[in-house]
Amino acid sequence: MTKTSKLTILLVLALVSIFIALTIGPANISVTELITCLTNECHNSVSKMVVWQVRLPRVLVGLVAGMGLACAGAILQNITRNPLADPYLFGIVSGAGLGATIANLSLANQLTIALPLAAFLGALFAVVIVLLIAKALQRIDQLLLAGIAVSFMLAAITQFILYLGDPFASNRVLFWLMGSLTRVEMSHFTIIFSIVIIALLIILACHRQIDALLLGDESAVSLGVNVDKLRLLMLAVCAALTATIVAYCGGIGFVGLMIPHIVRQLIGVTTLPLIIGSALMGGIFLIWVDVIARTALANAEIPIGIITSAIGSIFFLFIMMKTKSN
C-alpha cells in the first residue's frame, strides 16, 4: 500500500471518528438525529444544544489539539534527533502551566484573554531557557535533558505558587493542569485550528530541510541548510502550537511522543508523510481519548491528560526498551 493510500485511509478514519464521536456521550443522540441537527433542521432543542454547543466544540478541539501536539512531537524528535522528545518533556508544557497558573491566580477576571497569552509567554520563557542552557553546553543532544530539568524547575515554581494561593483558584488550576476538553468553545477551536494550520504550513515549507537533519547536522549544512536557524524556527513553532493547545485544553502529555512513532512505523519517516500522518492520527487519538474521558465514569469526567499520560508512560518505557535493543 502506498503512503498516499495510507494517509487517505487516515483521513477517512478522522472524518468517521468526528461523526461517531458526536453521537457518543451521556445524552443519547442517534445518527439520524445527529444528521438532522448538523443540517440545522433539528426540532429537539436539547439535542441541538448538545450537538452544537457541547459535543461539536469538544470533538473539533480534540481533533485540532491532537493534530497540533502530535506534529509538535514529531518535529521536536526530528530537530533534536532524539526519539524521546515530546513537548511535555521539553519544558514547553511546564512553562505554559506556570504562565497559566500566574494568570489564573492573579487575573481571574480577564481569563479568556489572559490565560492563553500567559500560557504562551510561559512556554516561550521555557524554550528560551532550554535553548540558553543547550547553547552554554554547546551540545544539541543535551537539549532534551535541559528541557527535563527546566520542566521540573518550572513545575516546582507552579506548585509553590499553587500552595501559597487561594485554595479555590488552586483547585481550578490543578484541574486545568490535568487537561480537559470540558470547557472548550467553538472560538477556541477557531484559534487552535488557525495556529495548527499556520504551523503546518511553516513545517511543510521546511520539510526538506527537516529531512536533511535526519542524517546529521553536517549533512544538512552540506545541503545548504542553516541548521541553527531551522532549529530555532521549529522550536518556536512547537512552542506556539503547544502553548496554544495547553492554554485551552490544559496539560495533555505524551500525545506528541506516541503518535509520531506509530506513524513512522506505519507510513514513513520523512517529514511530509510523517507530519500529515501524525496530524491525522493525533486528531483521531485525542477524539477517542476524549470519548473515553466523558463516558468511562457514570457521573463524572476523567481529565483527558490522566488518560494520555497513563497510555503514554507505558509507551515511553516501550520506546526506551526498543531504543536500547536497537
Partner 1 sequence: MPALLSVEALHWRINNKDILKNISFNVNKGEILGIIGPNGAGKTSLLNCILNHQKSFTGTIKFRAKNVKEYSAKQLAQHFAVVAQKTVPIFQLSVFDVVRMGLLPHKSMFALDSSYDHRQILLAIEKVGLSDLKNNQYNQLSGGEQQRVLVARALVQKAQVLVLDEPTNHLDVYYQHQILQLIKSLNITVIMTIHDLNLAAQYCQRLLLLDQGKIIANDITNNVLEPKQLSQVFKLNCLREQTPNSSFPRVYFQLASDTGSGEKVND
**One symbol per residue from 81 to 110: x for binding partner 1 (CB under 8 A), - otherwise; what is it?**
xxx---------------------------
Stretch that binds partner 1, among 24-32, 59-67, 132-140, 210-218 (CB under 8 A): 210-218
Stretch that binds partner 1, among 1-9, 65-73, 96-104, 208-216 (CB under 8 A): 208-216
In this chain, which of 219, 295, 310, 321 binds partner 1, going by CB under 8 A?
A: 219
Q: Measured from the CB atom, is 110 or 226 closer to partner 1? A: 226
Q: Measured from the CB atom, is 26 or 216 closer to partner 1? A: 216
Please state, in angstroms and rounded to a whole number, the distance separating the CA atoms of residues 318 and 259.
Answer: 13
Please state, in angstroms and rounded to a whole number, the distance separating the CA atoms of residues 308 and 292.
Answer: 11
Closest by CA to 279, choosing from 256, 248, 310, is: 256
Please state, in angstroms and rounded to a whole number, the distance separating the CA atoms of residues 304 and 307.
Answer: 5
Is position 3 an interface residue for partner 1 (rule: CB under 8 A)? Answer: no
Minimum distance, C-beta of residue 197 to partner 1, in the bound complex (Å): 14
Joined grid coordinates for residue 89: 518533556
Query: CA angle at residue 272 from 270 to 274, to 5 degrees?
Result: 65
Residue 5 Cα distances to 11, 14, 201, 266, angstroms: 10, 14, 22, 12
- Tell me the helices (H) and strands (E) count for the chain, helix number first: 15, 0
Q: How far apart are the first and last CA of the chain?
A: 26
Residue 321: how many CB atoms within 10 A of its CB?
A: 10
Minimum distance, C-beta of residue 150 to partner 1, in the bound complex (Å): 23
In this chain, which of 215, 296, 310, 321 binds partner 1, going by CB under 8 A?
A: 215
Is position 218 an interface residue for partner 1 (rule: CB under 8 A)? Answer: yes
Strands, E assignment, 244-302 = none
Q: Measured from the CB atom, is 260 or 305 closer to partner 1? A: 260
Residue 207 Cα distances to 78, 186, 204, angstroms: 11, 31, 5
CB–CB of 8/280 below 8 Å? Answer: no
Minimum distance, C-beta of residue 213 to partner 1, in the bound complex (Å): 9
**One symbol per residue from 261 to 300: x for binding partner 1 (CB under 8 A), - otherwise; what is it?**
---x---xxx-x----------------------------
Is position 8 an interface residue for partner 1 (rule: CB under 8 A)? Answer: no
Is position 206 an interface residue for partner 1 (rule: CB under 8 A)? Answer: yes
Per rule CB under 8 A, count of chain residues that contact partner 1: 27
Minimum distance, C-beta of residue 224 to partner 1, in the bound complex (Å): 3
Residue 132: how many CB atoms within 10 A of its CB?
A: 12
CB–CB of 95/122 below 8 Å? Answer: yes
Is position 221 an interface residue for partner 1 (rule: CB under 8 A)? Answer: yes
Give the residue carrying C-alpha cell 511553516.
Answer: 202
Minimum distance, C-beta of residue 193 to partner 1, in the bound complex (Å): 20
Minimum distance, C-beta of residue 134 to partner 1, in the bound complex (Å): 17
Is position 197 an interface residue for partner 1 (rule: CB under 8 A)? Answer: no
- Binding residues for partner 1, per CB under 8 A? 78, 81-83, 204-206, 208-209, 211-212, 214-216, 218-219, 221-226, 264, 268-270, 272
